[in-house]
Structure formats: structure tokens, C-alpha cells
Structure 1
Amino acid sequence: MTSVLESRPAGHRRRVKTADGIELEVREWGDPNGPELLLVTGVAQSYLSFVKQYSAPEMQKFRIISFDPRGHGLSDKPFGDQWYQDGKRWSGEVQSVMDAMELHKPILAGWSLGGRIVRQYLVDYGDTQLSGVGFLSCRPVEVPEVIGPGNAVVQKLDIDDLGSRIDITSAFLRNCFGLQPDADEFAFALGYNMVCPFEIRQQIGKWWTEPAISEAALRRVTVPTLIVHGRDDILVLPDAAVITARLIPHATLSLYDGCGHSVFFEAAERFNAELRDFVKDCSDPAAALATAKRRTMAAAS
């Protein structure tokens, strides 16, 4: 049986330059005329994280776009706090990709750090250029009580030893999953995790946004919103998703039993089905609101 890694499509490659001069690695898959999905990955990760989305046959009717954020994968990796602690640089990346790829009302979804980048986009640009928003296992409101114990492994990011850096990266990556990947999948992910320098991870770690700013931006969201989170996430606790859902009352909140931080990988079949339904909702906001109300009532009963 061919694995998803062996059969993954390379996608169409594009290099996109941001307003502050960073070149980003951008990839595109699927139907160029289909509904647009712009997926933003997490810290130390890559567009390769979404292999179970862009490789899935049932997802090929969509135009799927993802990119390596600055400091990650094949994108530029400047050193210095200034490149990673100004929120407008992160949101500007998203806008640069949208402009260069000529996206028209995409669904913008972010995982982990990517969810914070989506939040920052909403702070700086609002949702008028989007048809929907997705928050995947993330904390758009950066309150400390939702930081899980799995983050303790990265407290030694300053170790100046390659072997120790590999050990830390491996431990962090293990904590990204409740349902662990197989050996080949883990080795593949460890490879692109190591491409992000530890110095840049430290610089990203200093980026923080005042919760009141994030809360105000989330309250202004009017487009359909999907929030997914694993109940066993030890990096970002599920309460983060609950906070986001309270700030966006019309959002659909979907919690995954038995899953950790990477629900789109651990439970790809369910996640892809929910994402396909969400795309339909985004084409009919009234239907999205009705769906969200039904799911909220079902969850409360």
C-alpha cells in the first residue's frame, strides 16, 4: 500500500516576496478554479504538515495553498528579533500571498502559530477579504493559562549542541501528537522541523500580543468560523478553543476525543470531511449560522 508520503504531490511552486523583502516558499494544489483554502502552519513546521489535506483525492476539488512562514522550510530565514516580533510582518505575509496568488475571498485557516498569524491578520486587515476563518489547535488569545505542560521540553532551546537540539525537537514533535505518527511519518516531520533554526524559534517565542487586542479582533469577525481542537492537546489546552468560541458566538466548535495538537493529521478523515462541509457553509453564510446553532445545541444536550 502506498503511503501518503510516497504519493504526495509536489504542487505548483511559487516564490512570493513580502512587503519587508522576505521571500516565501508557496505551494498550490487542486483545482485552480475551486474554492480557495489558504492554510498556515505552526512553529518549526512547513506546508508539508498539511500532506493529508493536499494529497487527499476528495480535497482536489479545492484550490489549496500553503506556505512556509518566514524562518521556516524553504522561506528566507533572517536573524533578529525585529523580523519576528512585529505582528504586522506576520499578517503582511498572509496578505502578500493572497495578492501574489490572486486569491478571491479564501478561507484562511491556521494551526498553532498559524492560528496566531490568522488572528494577527484579523487585527490588521479584518475579515472583509475572506469567506471564512479556521482556528486549528491554537490560542488566538495569548493568555498563559491555556499553555499546556508539553511546552516544557522547549525550555532548553538555547543549548549550543546539535545532538541536544535534535533531542529537543524530537520531544517537542512527539508532543504535537496524541495519536503518534508511524516511524516514516515522524522522520519526515523531524526533517522539516530541524530546518527552522533554534535562534529563530527563540525570536518567535518573544512575540506576544495583548489579549485585549486579540479579543477585540475576534469579536469583529462576521464570516463563518471553524474552531477545531484535540481534547488531549498538551501544547495548547482545549480551553483556548473555548475562549475563541465565546468571542465568536457564531463559530462552529469541534473538539476531537483522543487527539492531540495535530487533529488534521491524527484524524484526517474526520477533519477533511468537516473542512469540506465548512467550505459549503462559507458559500452560504446563513446556512453556516444554522449549522453552528445546531451543533451548539447538540453539544449542550
Structure 2
Amino acid sequence: MRLSAHSYLALLLLLFSTALAAQPKSYTVTAPDGVRLAVQEAGNPQGTPIIFIHGLLGSHLNWERQFSDPQLQRFRLIAFDLRGHGLSDKPTQESAYRDGKRWAEDLAAVIAASHAHKPLLVGWSLGGAVITNYLAARGDIDIRGAVYVDGVVELTPTQIPAHSSVYRDMIAADLKTHLDGERAFLRLCFHQQPDSVTFERLLANAALAAWPMQRAVPSMSIALEQGLGQARVPLLFIYGAQDALVRPQPALARARQVNPGIQSRLYSNSGHAPFIEEPARFNRELATFAASL
């Protein structure tokens, strides 16, 4: 069968766009206070941008099951390592982490430097607090929506279970105690524990996180009323029903108190990380939500 010139050109464009989508790229963005942030991209460079923001002790590696999913390849997938994490800079002063505005300006710098037009923001755990602080600092004019994945709404005892011994060990000066604390924290992230290879990689990932950051994050400021409360773009909150690190119902109730318009989903078989524990459902619902915007 011979192809017409139009069909041949369309086929070439499809092959070219597929080749582009298969070539991930990495680069560095500098925040206003000089912190360098490591950014990774994949997917279709011409697609709707989705910016993924990981949680405490994570990095862009947390999103591997999203970056490798064929149904998400039509989107422009962007992830960056938060300050104090992964391949990004790790300031030694705790003051570099306590002010939520610094994390907000990091996200704003990534949006600007990547030229991501009206991105959808996806924030896991601590990443949800980063989105809220971004909304407080910059408003929602430059984004098309946000997805909070077991997101931290507020750092209060009603929403955050204590796990005092785990958090104490995570900031211990003794290396063995510190690493055992990080392992315990990582186990608490999952109701369905990942395979050993994935868990070991995530544990090594956690070990890269800066100790001053871990000491400072519990007192990080979150401008809830000014951020989430003032947002008018579509907002989707996803929680694992078995979450051991954020209590879903109190967190959702508080989020709805400041913004009654949010949508929500509950994943009955997931803990704190439904995008890893139930990736097929998560990726399908993320693709549907992104396309609806």
C-alpha cells in the first residue's frame, strides 16, 4: 500500500515526536537565593506540562512509574529535586528550609526556567505544602490546576500522626540510628510495600537528604488560607485510605474548610504513596484530570 504525501508526512511527524518523547533531559535551575535545583524532563515536549513535586526524603526518582507509563507520554513530564534532596543543592543552614516562601520560589523558578505554560502541579506529601505556599506567593494565574497526593495540608497533630521515635531517629547524630530512622519512615510510606529493588533504591534516595532540612521541615511555614484558600483553579486531592503519615479525613476536612470546591479520591488499598502502590489507577486518573483541563 502506497502512502499519500499527506499520510507520509503525518507518519514522519508521529515518528519524530515519539523519538523526542523518548529522550529525557536534565538541567539545573537556580532559585532566587542561589540554591541550584536539578530538573528532569520526559514525555512530549509539546504536550500539556505536568510538574511533579516529591515529598520528604524523595527526589525525581519517586515518579518513575509515571515517567515510564505510555498513557502519560503525551504530556510534558517535569520533575525536580527539592532543596536539600536528590541532586539539588543542600544548604547547611536550617533557616534555608523553614520559610515556606523559599520552597514556593523554587517552584516558581522551575516553572519560569522550563517555560512550562500553564502547568498542572502534582505534589506528594511535603510537595502539597510546596504547592500551597506557591499559591500564596504567586496565585494561580500561571497554573491550570493542582493535584495533592497524600498532601500535607497543615503540620498539626490532628493531621500528622506523631511517630515520635521515628522522627527523633531521623535527625539523630549517630549514623546508624539516623539510617534506621529513615528506613522506618520509608516503611511507613506504604501499605503495599514495594519490591526489594524499588525499596532499596528509595532508601538510598532518602539517605541523600540533608540533615539540616530534616530538622527544619517540621517547623516549615504553610500559608494555607492565603494559598489553598484563595485558589480557583481545579484541585484534586488523592489520599491512600491506609496512610500512616497523614490522616486523610482530618486533612481533607481542613482543606475543604478553606476551599469547598476541591475534588477528592480515596485509594482503599494504598498508604501514603498511591502513585507507587496503585500506579495503574493513579496514572489513568491523572491523565483524565490533566486532559479535562
TM norm structure 1: 0.86
For the residues of structure 2 that align with 1:242 and 1:274, how far apart are their CA atoms?
22
Question: Of residues 267, 277, 287 in structure 2, which corresponds to 1:276?
Answer: 287
1:211-230 to structure 2, matched below 5 A, reads 213-230=223-240
What code does the residue aligned with 2:290 have?
A: V
Structure 1 residues without counterparts, runs of 5 or longer? 1-8, 283-301
Structure 2 residues without counterparts, runs of 5 or longer? 1-21
Contact kept in structure 2, 1:151 and 1:235, CA below 8 Å = no
For the residues of structure 2 that align with 1:10 and 1:190, how far apart are their CA atoms?
27
Q: How many positions carry a matched residue from both structures?
A: 271
Question: Of residues 241, 246, 262 in structure 2, which corresponds to 1:236?
Answer: 246
For the residues of structure 1 that align with 2:193 and 2:253, how far apart are their CA atoms?
25
For the residues of structure 2 that align with 1:122 and 1:143, how far apart are their CA atoms?
20
Measure how far apart 1:152 and its partner are.
4.3
State whether structure 2 residue 79 is matched by structure 1 residue 66: yes
Question: Of residues 160, 163, 173 in structure 2, which corresponds to 1:160?
Answer: 173
For the residues of structure 1 that align with 2:159 and 2:112, how far apart are their CA atoms?
34
Question: Of residues 237, 261, 265 in structure 1, which corresponds to 2:276?
Answer: 265
What code does the residue aligned with 2:63 have?
A: F
Contact kept in structure 2, 1:245 and 1:252, CA below 8 Å = no
SS class of match (1:233)? coil
For the residues of structure 1 that align with 2:171 and 2:52, how far apart are their CA atoms?
30
Moved more, 240-249 or 117-126: 240-249
Contact kept in structure 2, 1:30 and 1:63, CA below 8 Å = yes
Per-residue CA distance 1:205-261 (angstroms, 9 max, x = gap): 22133xxx4134222111111110011101001121332234332222001102100
For the residues of structure 1 that align with 2:23 and 2:59, how far apart are their CA atoms?
13
Q: Cα gap change, 1:181/1:10 in structure 2, threshold over 3 Å: closer, same or farther? A: farther
Per-residue CA distance 1:155-206 (angstroms, 9 max, x = gap): 2233222222221111100000111001111001001100013232112222
State the match for 1:19 in structure 2: 32
State whether structure 2 residue 137 is matched by structure 1 residue 124: yes
Contact kept in structure 2, 1:259 and 1:266, CA below 8 Å = yes
Moved over 4 A (4+): 149-152
1:28-47 to structure 2, matched below 5 A, reads 28-47=41-60
Q: Aligned Cα RMSD in Å?
A: 1.5
State whether structure 2 residue 186 is matched by structure 1 residue 173: yes
Q: Cα gap change, 1:276/1:94 in structure 2, threshold over 3 Å: closer, same or farther? A: same
State the match for 1:97 in structure 2: 110
For the residues of structure 1 that align with 2:163 and 2:145, how far apart are their CA atoms?
30
State the match for 1:50 in structure 2: 63
What code does the residue aligned with 1:54 have?
A: F
TM norm structure 2: 0.88
